[in-house]
Amino acid sequence: MTGFALRSKLLVPTLREPPSGAHCISHILLSRAGFIRQSAAGIHPIMPLGERVIQKLENLIDTELQSKPLYANKIRLPLLTSADLWHKSGRYFGAGDELMRLFDRKGKEFVLGPTHEETITHLVASLGARNSKDLPLNLYQTTSKYRDELRPRFGLLRGREFLMKDMYSFHETIACAHTTYSQVCGAYENILTALGLPFFKVDADAGNMGGTLTHEYQVLADIGEDDVVHCPSCGHSSNLELLPEHSQPDPICNREDIETGQPCIGSLQLRKGIEVAQAFLLGSKYSQVFNAKGGVPLVDLQMGCYGIGVSRLLAACVEVDSGHDAHGIIWPKIIAPYQAVVISAPGNAIARALYSGNAEEFSGLLGQSYQSGCEVLLDDRTKDSFGVKLLEANLIGVPYIVVVGKTYEEGLVELIIRKTGISQILPKEEAIRQIIGL
């Protein structure tokens, strides 16, 4: 990514009104701010600003998965999967109508994968038995996935095409598989914490995926489609669908308080959550079918699989209370498309020309700080008023807005903090230090 970009060169058509059919905050704001558009029900092109956020989410995920202790390797699997593999695993019919099916010109059937357990296990098996020293093997990708939703809705929160990170681990022993499971859960918690999201790790149902252990990561938001039962005393959370009584959660938790070690006496809380990630221990369900073996003596490899909905996570960052206000989006700094947007103050024709030149100069100074992590967007449009530029800067949601006007010749600029709305007149050097976090 570059450190300095021009607003006029970006494809950022903002909207004054919510698009038809948009009923949740993230769908409305991401569409109005020019991050996404809708081409069909549940299908959304990602615009340049949205792509910058997606790339930063991927970088955050890559850093966690490729670092110690996981040392995962990134791959890219075909989106088209032979239907034969899904028949072999027994999931072809179990997936129901949500599985996207298609035929080539010779009549061979394929599926557009919603997930890739069959493909990755078949691949690993084709490479031959894994030596003990080569295990565990952790492989992951970030690609488009497909699900023929009956009623796609809420923009990126429930689409028919979506971006997902899916990781698959292969192990000689169950104990090793459990270790990796814990490590991935730790990585997920690091990612969600870095984004500043309120979340619960929740006991969940394995569903069609299968396996012996699974947890979901639920981001707390009113629009969430899952009901999460949480005990504030012991910290345990569960999806409501796992409880025997679905109408109301059991009012008393049967676990022990974290601090006292005594039985929990507080009432359980019922919250709404957006599922953004899930972890599964699969055992040998797929490795046995596809003959993926390793170790000494040879055994069916124990497997785990781990997904993060990247495009859904983007929407969740906007949907939570800290991700928006009455003026637009408020991005976490770590994934904001830019750290600052620079606009020139209003004035007569001569003043506007001067301010515009000064705004470009200041943007260049910020752009030179790129090695410090600063990426700046210069709003260089000449036909839009200052009011429009300021409204759109707030709507887009970058952390800092810089207004360059008559005080620039005195070495001063106006710095507005997007999250708080606090405005300060500062020396140029101090404004740059604040923006780049020094």
Amino acid at 366: L
In which residue ranges of the chain is CATH 3.40.50.800 found? 338-436
Find all residues with CB under 8 Å of 348, minimum gap 6, and list them: none
pLDDT band at 10 (very low <50, low <70, confident <90, very high): confident
Residue count of the chain: 438
Query: What was the pLDDT predicted at 69?
Result: 96
> Within 13 A of 327's CA, how many CA atoms are on the CB side?
19
In which residue ranges of the chain is CATH 3.30.930.10 found? 25-325
Query: What was the pLDDT predicted at 98?
Result: 93
pLDDT tens string 197-214: 999 999 988 777 777 799
pLDDT band at 317 (very low <50, low <70, confident <90, very high): very high
Query: What was the pLDDT predicted at 235?
Result: 83
Lowest-pLDDT range, 30-34, 63-67, 250-254, 322-326? 250-254
pLDDT band at 259 (very low <50, low <70, confident <90, very high): low
pLDDT band at 2 (very low <50, low <70, confident <90, very high): low
Query: What was the pLDDT predicted at 252?
Result: 61
Handedness of CA 379, 380, 385, 386 (dihedral sign): positive
C-alpha–C-alpha distance, residues 110 and 182, integer Å: 34
Find all residues with CB under 8 Å of 117, minimum gap 6, and list them: 89, 168, 209, 282, 286, 303, 305
Lowest-pLDDT range, 147-161, 261-275, 332-346, 395-409? 261-275
Query: What was the pLDDT predicted at 245?
Result: 60
Indicate the CATH number for domain 338-436: 3.40.50.800
Residue 13 burial (C-beta neighbours within 10 Å; 0-12, 13-18, 19+): exposed
pLDDT band at 251 (very low <50, low <70, confident <90, very high): low
- Find the mean pLDDT for residues 12-32: 91
- Find the mean pLDDT for residues 78-104: 95
Q: Which helix (H) or strand (E) holds 400?
A: strand 400-404
Query: What was the pLDDT predicted at 400?
Result: 97
Query: What was the pLDDT predicted at 263?
Result: 72
Is residue 247's pLDDT more than 60? Answer: no
At the top level of CATH, the class of 25-325 is alpha beta
Query: What was the pLDDT predicted at 396?
Result: 97
Determine the 3-state secondary structure of 175 from DSSP: helix
- Find the mean pLDDT for residues 379-406: 95
Computed over every residue of the chain, the mean pLDDT equals: 92
- Find the mean pLDDT for residues 77-106: 95
- Beta strands in 258-398, from DSSP E residues, in sequence order: 269-283, 293-294, 299-300, 302-309, 324-325, 328-329, 340-344, 376-378
Is residue 264's pLDDT more than 80? Answer: no
Tokens of 192: 């969600």
C-alpha–C-alpha distance, residues 419 and 399, integer Å: 7
Query: What was the pLDDT predicted at 277?
Result: 97
Is residue 132's pLDDT more than 60? Answer: yes
Is residue 248's pLDDT more than 80? Answer: no
Lowest-pLDDT range, 129-133, 268-272, 342-346? 268-272
C-alpha–C-alpha distance, residues 370 and 336, integer Å: 14
C-beta separation of 369 from 339 below 8 A: no
Is residue 274's pLDDT more than 90? Answer: yes
Is residue 373's pLDDT more than 90? Answer: no
Query: What was the pLDDT predicted at 8?
Result: 87
Q: What is the percentage of the chain residues whose pLDDT exceeds 90?
A: 77
- Find the mean pLDDT for residues 358-383: 87
Is residue 415's pLDDT more than 90? Answer: yes
Q: Between residues 44 and 208, which one has the greater pLDDT?
A: 44
Is residue 319's pLDDT more than 90? Answer: yes
Q: Between residues 211 and 346, which one has the greater pLDDT?
A: 346
